[in-house]
Structure 1
Amino acid sequence: MPYEQCNGADLYFEDEGSGTPLVFLPGVMTGVRFFTHQLGNLSDDYRTVALDYRGHGRSEKTETGHTVGQYASDLDAFLDRRDLDDAVLVGWSMGALVAWEYVGQFGTDRVRGFVDVDMSASAFQWDYYDHGRSDSARLTETLGFVQTDHAAFIEGLVEAAFAEPPCPETRALVFDEVSRTPPPIKSAILFDYTMRDYRDVLPDIETPTLVCAGADEKWRTVAAVRDVADRLPNAEFELFEESGHCITVEEPERFNRRLREFVESL
């Protein structure tokens, strides 16, 4: 299997095709297989790339470094080692935070465009911010659940992330992929991811961005994702009526078509 060592961690990746690089960044506790429909179906026209963060998927399970900031630093090293320039960063859920954090640390010289797939500016319920889905009590409960009943925690994620119950094959894929992140790593990155706040960062990102929201609101409200588009100076908003949080899996053909349109407009 292909790996790149980035900041001391061996990161698993997939890299297919040629042309404009589309770099897919997974959500928290997930991995590259959530982009199976994109990696296979878009590689005829683009260079499709996806990587597992440290501690996730098939990447090395390092004891340290499980913050959005470190994942963004790892992404910079990965882009450099794979010679990826003029890329479109496609961040699903926490992947969007990694992309925004990357901008804060390293700028946009290597980035042609961004795609935010169902992520709000923050997951936490800050004062005067209505779009977070976690407060201190819920976060504490979640972190405890990860440690005391790991399997039930993952089952709950599956139920909340999809608009309709997934087929057995998809359910098995999700369960296997999320299970690859050990509970100690889950707890570390869940806390860091939840407490991140990019409301003040977004207005400074002038790079064209496509913002995608799933209409089912079990995981995140449409208003929370639309708020991101409103804060960005150069954004398009797209609602996926038949999706929950896993748009790339739930409506892959429509998502791929809309992604193509966005990339060709850049």
Structure 2
Amino acid sequence: MRKTFTTADGATLSYSDSGSGEVLVLLHGWSQSAAMFRHQIESFSRERRVIALDFRGHGLSPQAQHGYRIYRFAADVAELLRHERIEKASVLGWSLGASVLWAMIDLYGTTGLDRLVFVDEPASVMIQPGMSEEDVKNAGALFDGTTMLAVAAQIAGPEGHAAREGFLGSMITKGIPKDLRDWLLAENLLVDPRTVAELFVNHCAIDWSDLFKRIDRPTLVIGGRVSHVDPQSQEWIHGQVKGSELVIFDESQCGAHFPFIEQPETFNAVLAAFLEKGSAKLPLAS
């Protein structure tokens, strides 16, 4: 079922709400949409209530005039849970969606959160001042501030379509079907270029490295051997979150940035094991 609600600052957000039972919330990545999780919604809504939100200006959520910041997105998710009177939920954040989940934890703590899943998000996308070489590797930082601003300008400029297509190409496996690649790009391009460039800068600039030791919920960290996000960064996050589990998909398991849609059966098996049976019986755990 598709629903909408209005946030405290006047944005209209669209979300899918399927199934019943224990709640699983799915948070998508930068310049993408809740539709990325179509296979997870179909599978997990058979036994759970699955909510997948389109962030403001993404997917089916209309363009908002303001608020394209990670912490505002986190407040949006918290408001949605209150709107639906959800007192406890497991939350999966993929890419930027993981940063939104981390911002929620930073703002509100872990009260109301059950199990947490972080999918292929570095602790800091941007190299922060004072980072050592080892810090950069552990954080998974991809570029410096000058490069970040140049990329944002390119996204917002006349070559923005090509820039976003190039971005997507770096995040998927070489063997992805053309129709799936084209669909992913079409979803990406739904978001206004200036809006998504603004969000890109905010997303990249935040370093979450000091957050992970404060997490006290069962946590699964998922990465990919051929992702643009260095798997060392996912191993580092796993090492910071006490009692967490780690799964790194290899190339044959579509271990790039979109494993949940490139090879959903494998991804869903790992997620189901974590949600239903606990971390001790995870398949493919590394």
What TM-score range do you get, normalising by the shorter chain?
Answer: over 0.9
Report the alpha carbon displacement of residue 87 of structure 1 after superposing the two structures with TM.
0.8
Report the alpha carbon displacement of residue 165 of structure 1 after superposing the two structures with TM.
4.2
Amino acid of the structure 1 residue aligned with 2:149: T
Specify the alignment match of 1:206 in structure 2.
Answer: 216
Range moving further from structure 2, 131-140 or 70-79: 131-140
SS in 2 for 1:90: strand
Amino acid of the structure 1 residue aligned with 2:224: G
CA contact (8 A) 2:54 2:60 kept: yes
**Counterpart among 147, 170, 174 of residue 180 in structure 2:** 170
Amino acid of the structure 1 residue aligned with 2:207: D
Task: Tell me whether 1:264 sits opposite 2:272 in the alignment.
Answer: no
Partner Cα distance (1:215, 1:18) in 2: 35
Deviations 1:56-105 (A, max 9, x none): 11112112101100000000000111122321110000111111110111
User: TM-score under structure 1 normalisation?
Assistant: 0.96
Deviations 1:6-50 (A, max 9, x none): 221111100111111110000111111110110111111111110
Partner Cα distance (1:237, 1:2) in 2: 34
Partner Cα distance (2:39, 2:147) in 1: 33
Partner Cα distance (1:187, 1:155) in 2: 14
Partner Cα distance (1:202, 1:173) in 2: 34
CA contact (8 A) 2:110 2:216 kept: no
CA contact (8 A) 1:24 1:51 kept: yes
**Counterpart among 235, 241, 251 of residue 244 in structure 2:** 235
Specify the alignment match of 1:48 in structure 2.
Answer: 50
Specify the alignment match of 1:152 in structure 2.
Answer: 162
SS in 1 for 2:17: strand
Q: Matches of residues 183-198 of structure 1 in structure 2 within 5 Å? A: 183-198=193-208
Task: Tell me whether 1:113 sits opposite 2:115 in the alignment.
Answer: yes
Deviations 1:189-229 (A, max 9, x none): 10000011111111001111100001103x11110111111
Partner Cα distance (1:112, 1:179) in 2: 33
CA contact (8 A) 1:134 1:194 kept: no
Partner Cα distance (2:31, 2:51) in 1: 18
Amino acid of the structure 1 residue aligned with 2:192: P
Asked which structure has the greater RCO (Cα within 8 Å, sep 6+), the reply is 1
CA contact (8 A) 2:32 2:188 kept: yes
User: TM-score under structure 2 normalisation?
Assistant: 0.89
Partner Cα distance (2:89, 2:48) in 1: 10
Report the alpha carbon displacement of residue 158 of structure 1 after superposing the two structures with TM.
2.1
**Counterpart among 58, 69, 78 of residue 71 in structure 2:** 69
SS in 2 for 1:161: coil
Structure 1 residue runs without a partner (length 5+)? none
Specify the alignment match of 1:216 in structure 2.
Answer: 226
Runs of 4+ aligned structure 1 residues displaced above 4 Å come to none
Partner Cα distance (1:229, 1:10) in 2: 35
SS in 1 for 2:39: helix
Partner Cα distance (2:219, 2:19) in 1: 23
Range moving further from structure 2, 149-158 or 11-20: 149-158
CA contact (8 A) 1:120 1:225 kept: yes
Specify the alignment match of 1:2 in structure 2.
Answer: 3
SS in 1 for 2:170: helix
